[in-house]
Structures are given as structure tokens and as C-alpha cells.
Amino acid sequence: MLTENNPKQKSFIADLTYRPRRNRKSESIRQLVQEHRLHPSDFVVPLFVIEGSDCTQEISSMPGVYRYTIDCLTKQIDHLMELGIRAVDLFTVVPSERKTADGAEALRRNNLLHQSLQTIKKAFPELCVMVDVALDPYTNHGHDGIVDQNGNILNDETLVILMTMSLLASEYGADVIAPSDMMDGRVAYIRQALDQNGFTDVSICSYAAKYASAFYGPFRDALESAPKFGDKKTYQMNPGNILEALRESSLDEAEGADMLLIKPGLSYLDVLTKVKEQTELPVGIYHVSGEYSMVMAAAEKGWIDADKVFEETLLSMKRAGADFIFTYAAERIAQTLCTLLPKSRY
């Protein structure tokens, strides 16, 4: 047994040649050997758009996150661009009086989404603008698809609407279509429609593995899109399954997806890693509203440092294999990174 005064132990310590702490002894060395890094260009910023002008509304359940009218949205995007962020994902807040069972507002030309796309792409042609494609913001029942009289979500009938939504968004300037609905076959359906209508350069970022998670609550507050009956378990995935996620990802890749997305984030890093191992496509992860709001709530109590926790969280996603990250913390982390990265690198 080795003890403090044991000569064998002293000899072992004297002969120890590898000391991992040597690579941690200064900030410059720690940065030199760091394996994974965050950069503002890793982030996709979810943005919420409302009707009107000269208005921003803080989302009560997501401190520091806002809904913007289009004129204010362009100012926010200009700020994000200055921070080195190059991608956003648009979500529109639809007034309740225009929500219907069939989500008809989603197909109305020049709706709020289309106006936002035109304005943003004109002002920031170099920005990557993604568009979330799903029916839940537009329906009065809050589900991602057409519902029959028995409360069943109709897969194939919904595909036709998702296809038209994608075509319209592409016409108004979307760079990337991001279907989040989890209907079977939607990637193939959308890809074929885009190609046949001259939008071969429009990408598809598929929510390949979107789980029926309890972490989405604040997001649904932001869009006022919580389901009015039942849940989304017949189309979003069972949190207990990983082989299903691999199968879903393979199907979406075969159907023509250009990127794959895993949602939520921290609770599904194992899924991210497994999907990354089986595909050559870029794979992202969505650091969702509940994950963001939990950190902000604890920070408001003084229990944690929000910026440090966000940085550690997002690094874990990079370490697990994420090529890009959807996150509501993008702006605050990019501001931190601005102090570390020379502007020429953006």
C-alpha cells in the first residue's frame, strides 16, 4: 500500500513524466490546445416576427428574447451581422383571428413571413435566411398538420400544404427551408416540388429527429401555438428512442435533405453524436427555449453565471458533433466572443 512516507510512492512521483496539468498552466497554453471552439458563424438565431411597426416585445418566459416588427427586426439583424452571426431562422406570430383549422394564412401571398423575407434579403443579401415550415403557428388547434374530425393528424393532406408553404417562401427569398412538422415523407415531397419549380438552389434543413419534449413550453408561449387538445406524440419522436432517430435521419438524407437537425439539445447529445457518425451531411442541434429559460431563471436568482453556463452548454454541443447550433443565447455569446476574436475572422 502506498502511503505518504512510502519510499516507493516517492519514487513513483519522482519518475512521473507525463503531467496533464502542464497543458493547463496558462491561458495561452489552454487556448493553444483547446479541441473545440465556438464562433459566431456557428450560430443560427431564431427570430420572432410580429405585425405592426416600431415595436419590440420581450417574451416573458424567455428573458432577453423579443418579438420584432419588421423594421425593428432589420435593426436587430444588422447588430447580429456586426457580431459575426450569419444565419437566422424566422418564425411569425399570427394573430388569433387569422388562425384557422386548415392554417390558410400560411398560404396567403404576401403574408407576414413573405414580407419579412423580402425585406431582410433586400437589406442583407449575404445573410442565410432559414424559414421554419410547419402549420402550428397558423392553426387554431396548435398542431403541425391538418386534423380530421376524430382528432387525427393527417399526414398526406398536410404534405400538400407544406409543399406550397415551401414554394412560396422560396419565391420570396428563403435560402433554406426547415420543415419542423415531422410528417412522413415531407423532405422528398418538398425537394421534388422545389426542383420542379426552379428552386434547385434552395436548401432543406430537416428536423430529422424532433422529439416530443417538455422543453418547448416558452417557444409555444412566444408563438401562442400550444396545442389546444392532446399532444404531439403521434408525429414527434419518443424521447426513449435512438434507433428511430437514426432511421429518420437516414430517410431524410435519402429524400434529399442538405442538412440534418436534432431537437432538443442537451438531453439529446447522444443522438447528435450517433447521427453524425452515420452521415456525411452537416448536422446541427437546436438549443431550445426551455433549456435557455432554465438558465436565465437560475441566473436571475443569482445561482449561476448565465454566460458561462451558455458557453459551456454550447461547447458540449460542438464537442458532441454539431456543425451549427440554433440558440437563443447566440447574441450574448457572440458578444463575449467578440472580445476574444479579431474582427477580420468574422
Q: How many Cα atoms occupy the beta-carbon half-sphere of 30 within 13 Å?
A: 5
Beta bridge partners of 92: 49
SS3 readout for the chain: CCCCCCHHHHHHHHHCCCCHHHHHCCHHHHHHCCCCCCCHHHEEEEEEECCCCCCEEECCCCCCCEEECHHHHHHHHHHHHHCCCCEEEEEECCCHHHCECCCHHHHCCCCHHHHHHHHHHHHCCCCEEEEEECCCCCECCCCCCEECCCCCEEHHHHHHHHHHHHHHHHHCCCCEEEECCCCCCHHHHHHHHHHHCCCCCCEEEEEEEEECCHHHHHHHHHHCCCCCCCCCCCCCECCCCCHHHHHHHHHHHHHCCCEEEEECCHHHHHHHHHHHHHCCCCEEEEECHHHHHHHHHHHHCCCCCHHHHHHHHHHHHHHHCCCEEEECCHHHHHHHHHCCCCHHHC
Active-site amino acid positions: 210, 263
Q: Are 116 and 90 in contact (CB under 8 A)?
A: yes
Alpha-carbon distance 179 to 189, whole Å? 11
Match 404534405 to its residue by C-alpha cell.
Answer: 159
Q: Which amino acid is at 169?
A: A
Spatial distance between the Cα atoms of 346 and 338, rounded to a whole number of angstroms: 9
Q: How far apart are CA 121 and CA 322, in angstroms?
A: 26
